[in-house]
Structure 1
């Protein structure tokens, strides 16, 4: 697994978590949804990379 890709995925997850919290604080549902989707996409990409690595062996 490429370390740059891992960092990028974790950064996307963190960005999503921050964006979701800001949306919740500001009572802005659109920002909250965007944050939730960013977080989900980051987690999905991490899971896909782990699965790829498991089947590569």
Structure 2
């Protein structure tokens, strides 16, 4: 997984946190919900990144063991 993709996914989560807080402070429930959605989406993507990295690392280890 590329560093750029990981950074984008983390940024999505952080932006979601900001939107949620601004929504809370302003009483804007729509913005608050959008922030929660963005956070969830960023978290899911980060989990996918971690799974891909783990699978890649495992594959590299298995290739190394066969050499």
User: TM-score w.r.t. structure 1 length?
Assistant: 0.93
Q: Structure 1: which 5+ runs fail to align?
A: none
Alpha-carbon RMSD across the aligned residues, in angstroms, is: 0.8
Matches within 5 A, 1:10-49: 10-49=10-49
* SS of alignment partner, residue 19 of structure 1: helix
Question: Where does structure 1 differ by over 2 angstroms across 4 or more consecutive aligned residues?
Answer: none
For these two proteins, the number of residue pairs brought into alignment is 57
- Greater gyration radius: 2
Shift in Å, 1:9:
0.5
Select the structure with the greater relative contact order (CA < 8 A; seq sep ≥ 6).
Answer: 1
Q: Structure 2: which 5+ runs fail to align?
A: 59-67
Give the whole-Å Cα distance in 1 for the aligned partners of 2:55 and 2:9.
20
User: TM-score w.r.t. structure 2 length?
Assistant: 0.80
Shift in Å, 1:34:
0.1
